[in-house]
Structure formats: C-alpha cells, structure tokens
Structure 1
C-alpha cells in the first residue's frame, strides 16, 4: 500500500465517521449529544487535513459517498453509542495503515489519530452499557482478526 493509498483509506474512514456521527447525534440528548458533536467536528477537521495532505502529494482526494451503511440501526441512545464506538474502531484500523510510513511526521499524525479514536471508542462503549452476550475481549480493538493470521498455536 502506498502512502497515498493509506491516506485515502483514512480519508474514507473520516467521511464515514462524519456521516455516522450525524446519524448518531440525532438519537442523543444532553451531554452525549454534545460529545457526539465534538467527535463530529474532530472527524471533520481530520477529514479536511487528510484531503489537504492528499492534494499536496499531487493526488485527488476520494469524495464522500452520498450515504454509508452503519454497523447497526440507530434507534436508541444505546445503539447510537455502539455505532459511535464502531466508527472509532474503523478510524483506528484506517490510521494503522499510515503508522508504517517512512515520514516521521506522518507516523506521529497517525499515532495521535489512532490514540484519540481509541479513547473515544472506549468512552462510547462504556456509555452503551454492558454487552448483551459476554465474549472474549479483543486484545487489539479495532484490528480485524484476519490481521493476526496465522492464528497462534500454543506450544509452537
């Protein structure tokens, strides 16, 4: 993956987050709505920053889609918080592609973006209440299980 490809992947994630937080915010009230608005504005700023970086590299930034499929329907404050956490997980995964850049400044940018997104994901998960079905916690939240293939085997 080239640096521009990784920047485009992060940009697409930011487009989805901006869209998703618009949906999420409509189901929240009070402090939760303000937190969603703050996250929405942070994702808008990251989106604009990424678009500027891509343009500076001589490429055309990917445009936002008219709509995005969210990981679940947003019908309550609980489901809104779950969707917000999933949006942040996607951002962590997207910025991971930039963390291996040869440019130290870009690596730092990606690391900060990943850390901030993970912090927001943790806060949103805490607000969504306990999970309905208890399952094992992910050792690397936001990183798809396929990224750890082949699966480690004890004793090898």
Structure 2
C-alpha cells in the first residue's frame, strides 16, 4: 500500500469517525458528554490535517459519505460507549496501515494518531488490547 492510499484510507476512517461521534453525542450519558465532544473535535482536526496530507502527496482527498452504516444499533448510553470504542478501534487500524506505508514526519504523525485512538478506545472500553490497530485484523 502506498502512503497516498493509506492516507486516503485514514481520511475515509476519520470521516466515518466524525459521523459516528455525532451519533455517540446524541446518546451518550451526560457525565461523558465532554469526553465525546473532545473525541469528536480530535477526529475533525485529524480529518482536516489528512485532507492537506493527501493533497501534499499528490492526491485528491476522498469526500465524506452522506451517511454511514453503523456496526450496530445505538439506542442508549451503553451503546454509545460501545460505538465510541469501536470507532477508535477502526481508526487505529487504518493508522497502523499508514505507519507501515509512510516515512518521516508523516509516519510519526500516523503513530501519534494511532496512539491517541488506542488511548481513547481504552478510556471508552475500560480495557486495552496488546497491539492497538492490529486487534481487528486477527
């Protein structure tokens, strides 16, 4: 996978995460609303940075879809927490691909994004995984 392809995949995942956190924000318990808002803002910032990265790599940034299919129904705060953890796992997976494909500053940025997603997933889930970004590939 080229760095451009991996960056496009990461951008697509960030678009989906921004959408997903809109759903999370609508169902999350009030005591975790600030955490959901911070994650939403972090994914928006990463999305915007990846748009620039894709252009810098000579590509045309992939557009967001009008809507995304959720992996399961989110009907209550527990479902919102579960969705948030799932979103972070998915984002970590694409950033692990970008770490493998990129070099230099882009690789360092991808590693930082992978780490941030893994930390957010642990906060949402309450437990971690041995190799963040690779767990869903097993």
- What is the Cα deviation at residue 103 of structure 1? 1.9
Alpha-carbon distance change, 65 to 120 in structure 1, aligned in 2, over 3 angstroms = same
> Is the contact made by 2:85 and 2:121 (CA closer than 8 Å) also made in structure 1?
yes
Q: How many correspondences in the alignment?
A: 138
2:106 alignment partner in structure 1: 106
Equivalent position of 1:86 in the other structure? 86
Show the counterpart of 1:151: none
After superposition, the Cα gap between the structure-2 partners of 1:99 and 1:141, relative to the gap in structure 1 and judged at 3 Å, is closer
Larger RCO (alpha carbons 8 Å, 6+ apart)? 2
The residue number in structure 1 matching 2:5 is: 5
Equivalents in 1 of 2:129, 2:37: separation in Å?
A: 28
CA positional deviation for 1:140:
3.1
Structure-2 separation of matches of 1:16 and 1:98: 17
* Bigger helix share: 2
In structure 2, the partner of 1:33 is: 33
1:74, distance to aligned residue in structure 2 (A): 0.7
Larger Rg: 1
Tell me, yes or no, if the aligned pair for 2:73 and 2:79 is still in contact at 8 Å. yes
Which runs of 4 or more aligned residues in structure 1 lie more than 4 Å from their structure 2 counterparts after TM superposition? Answer: none
TM-score, scaled relative to structure 1: 0.82
Name the SS of the counterpart of 2:27 in structure 1. Answer: coil
Separation of aligned partners in 2, 1:68 and 1:144: 22
- Deviation digits for residues 45-89 of structure 1 (CA, Å, limit 9, x no counterpart): 000000011112221000000111111111111110000000000
Residues in 1 aligned to 2:13 and 2:76: alpha-carbon distance in whole angstroms: 23
Please state whether the residue corresponding to 2:71 is helix, strand or coil. Answer: coil
The 1-side partners of 2:38 and 2:16 are apart by: 16
Name the SS for the 1:69 alignment partner: coil
Structure 1 residues without counterparts, runs of 5 or longer: 131-136, 149-156
Question: Taking structure 2 as the reference length, what is the TM-score of the superposition?
Answer: 0.92
Offset, 1:31: 3.1
